[in-house]
Every structure is written in structure tokens, then in C-alpha cells.
Structure 1
């Protein structure tokens, strides 16, 4: 009965646990604060551990020859998301100033659209994509935090990329990849684990979201979330299809606002005090956008997959055969599509 419910809902293995996590955090937050194994497993504090496990498992299935494809796919998604977020934000800032448009500040626009929710992306790619899609998260990790926001606001000279944190996020992937390439049977042994983790990651993501954030952000926060997903997603999808030569399903999975983007406005204001008057409003609006996009991404990705297919759900036999990574005569990786 449970699996039937999961299958009836687009991206159900993630979206249903995610919504249960949201409802629990909103109305029964003390349940998540019980401590011990309950808090470790079901609260948002368990998210990083489970994501680390997911990175390790997907690393075991990633072959060395696929690395160029990882940078290509991840790079297209990363750069296109930055361009659309920075483009909209800078245009609004130039025309309307720091106050922004319709009560949505420039700071809120750039903070939300240039960041993406890695947990949502990774879970959806495990359901619909292939190991290269999943491993692209290592590239997308660059947009988690204030760096790209600062760059878009013209504060790139003050930005400090946390190289150690970035490296720490991909170590599980690298270790898994080494072991998987050394022993194919080990990769096969680990493979079922990623599917098991998806509902738990979904719940932990939801456990970090409070529906009151939507109310605090008001209609402006809802509008920001819709712009982040539909406008941002449309642009990323076009780049994914035209430049990456992909069907576009990954673009909707990355058209989200990251949970840690909520802290970006305050971080920017600490560097440039001119933004201080806009921090509270921008924080509430970004929080609302996080909730809106976390719900829309699984639905939108599932819809796109049904129309155009994905590696896990091809529209017709052999649809993705031409996109497989092959080794040419020079022993270098080449992605044909």
C-alpha cells in the first residue's frame, strides 16, 4: 500500500516523505527534538550524514571514463543557473534599486535563484537520472552558499571560496569511485542502498522546512519561489537541451532555492552593511521560496520525464544509447550527446 502511494505521486518516494517532514516540523517540532536515534534519523541534522552515504554509494557506480561528462553536465546546470539568477537580480537592481520589484528585494532574488537545493536534486536524479547526473552534484555544490550571490552583487573581490568545505563534500564520492572501479562486485553490492536512502533524505529535507516560513514571506515569497522555479527552470532547461544536448529533466530538479540560501542575505549584509535594511524581508522571502521550490521540483521533474524521458524512464528503446560515454582510441572520455 505504501509503495502504491509512492508510485501514484510524481517523485513520490521523495515528495511524500518530504511533505511528512514539513508537517512534522511545522506542527510537531518536539518530536524531532526527542534526541538519540529519533533526532539523528528524522530531523534535518541527519541530512548531511545521509547525503554523504548517498555520495559514497553513487561514487561506486561512477566509472573514471565518465568524469568529463560529469563536468560537462554539472557545468551547464551551474553556469546557466547563475546566469539567470544574476541576470534577473542585476536587472531589477539597476532599474528599481535595492528595494527591488513588487516588494521583492534584489538581495532576495539573487540569493534564492543563484542557489539550488542539492538534496532535492540528488534525490530526483537517483530516481530519474544516471550516475553522471548524480555525480554532477559535486560541481553544483559550488552554488551552495554566498559565493555566487556575492559575485553577482559585484562583491567578488570579497568572496572567499571555502575550498576545504568543497573538498570535504566530494571526498565520499571519490572514495566510493575508487572502490567501485577497483571492484565491480562491490559497486553492485552497494547499488540498492541509494534507493533505500531517498525517503529518509526526503523526510530530513522536509524536517528543515516550516510552513510558517511561507506565511512570513507573504505573497512576495510565493512569487519569488514561482519565478525561481518556472523562469529559472525554463532558462536552465533551454541551456541543458541546446548546450548540453540533454532532455532537460535535470534542469527542473536544479530550479530550486537552497535551504542554506536563507542565511545568505545576512552573510551579504555582514560584508556590505548597505544591505542591512533588507535582510529581514529577504530572509523571509527566500525561506518561502525554499518551501515552494522543494514542492514544485519533484512534480515538474516527473512531468518533464513523462514527456521527454530520462535514463531511468526512456520514452522509447535505445533513447539514451547515444548518450553513453565511450572510450575512443586515445583512451579519453567522450560523451556523444
Structure 2
């Protein structure tokens, strides 16, 4: 079967997306020497009501994200597990589909596959991977989604693209999640990325990003959501069929303003300066107000990026921010 014989646009709304209550997930790296600590905190996050745990795909200086998610799958029972995000160039689409299906099976159908085109040039260089122009990377994203969904179809499938190729006789070991594994696409590019979200994805993620040191404004959000709604209409999809998620990168919390300032003063100042205005730091009251403004903009799902070792923020958000939106 060729890729063109498959309808790759989601029909209806994935159950994970259909739940429009306000939900929060956590993204942070476990310390590679202390897995017991990681497992303990995963269980606490689940008890506090976090909806999901997410891990990055940055293999040059971190534990492989798929290995981390395998640990998380066995340590949790309810939380969804996601990649935020898996770079489409770090594994072939075939191996990406294989790793994702394995985690979905291991977690009994809890995976969200977050994908990105990559933006960390030094990381590409360190791994000996050419860093293509943006247009080429965006095209490769479409090829990746087509291959992954095709391999997961349970049918014979073959695809040959300009960047990637893959095939199966129909025996590819599929995920177990029904109706399918949801796909999240990162980025707010209005010409291509948001169109790809409307055509292929179940969730859109945008917001603050420390790699570029900036955060989207309320005006940006309104414009991008309007653009996304237009693309969705073109593909016959309802606005609520795509979950709108926001990424705070990073979030730092303290019980009081004085405690927060002391905490920030003890952190790596070079790293904090690099984050620019992508960083949000606040007390519980300030953080609740921050997320309320984003809810008013139309976001329904929030991913909290936590700096290494900042367990306090995970706990403060779990015990003060999450209850405020239940």
C-alpha cells in the first residue's frame, strides 16, 4: 500500500483531547545516578494530580528519552507519557515508530508522541547529522508523520520521500492505544507548522522557549489560534479537535517573594540570562494568575519545564496551582 492510500488526517477528537478541563504536565530530566529519586517523584506527581510526564530528546548530554519513558511507564499507572519533543532527525522514522509503539505498549496505551524539526545546531553537529534549512526540515516532518502513521496502520505500507523511506508487510508491531497514539507538534509557525497541526496532529504546543529566549505574547496567541482554526476548517475539523498546550520553559516557584528571590540568586545566572523572558518565576498566587491569563487566551493544557534539581517547584505547583484549577 502506498502512503497516498491512507487517510492521515484525524477524524473526530481523540479522547485525551476531548477532555477540555485544565490540566498540567511536568517536563524535567531525571538525574542519571538516582533513579529511585526519579521514581519517587513520579509517584508524587501522579498523587498530586499531574496529567502527564514529558521528556526531551537531547541525547548528547542526557539519558536517552525513550529509556526514561520506559522507567516512567513502569513506575506510574495513570499519567500520560510524552516526548517534548522527539527530533525527527535523531532516529529514522522507522525506529521512531518502533520506540514509540514499544512505550505505548509498556504503558498500556498512555503515550503522546511529541515531534519537532530540531533547532539545536550544536547538537546536530555533535552527532554528525547535517542541519538542513527550515523548509527541508518542515517537509521531513510531513514525511515522518506519514511513515509513522503508515507503519502503525497494521497494513502493508511503503513510502519513499525526499528525506525518509520505510516499508512494512503489515507485520509492524503496533501500539495498543485506541483509537490511536495522539501526535503533538511543537511550534507556532503560521505558514507551515500550524497547517501541519491541522492536517495531522491532535495537539499543538507553543509558548515560552529558552532556546530562543522569548515568549509568545497574548496578541501572538490570538493570531496563531485564529490561523490554526482556519486550517482546521480547511481540513473539515472542529477547533476543539486539537488540544492547545503551552510550554513554560522554565517555571520557577517559591513560597514567598523573598524565598523565590533567594532561590533564584543561588541558581546558575548564565543559564537564567540565556532563558530571557521565556522564564517565569513566581509565588503560588502569581503563578496561578499567570496561568489564568493563558487560560483566558484559549490554552487548556500546560507543560511545566522544571530546571534540574528544582523539586520544590514540582511540589508547589502540584499542591497550590493544580488545585486552583480543579
The two structures share one fold, judged by TM-score above 0.5: no
TM-score of the two chains, using structure 2 as the length reference:
0.29
Q: Give the structure with the larger strand fraction.
A: 2
Flag the structure with higher helix content.
1
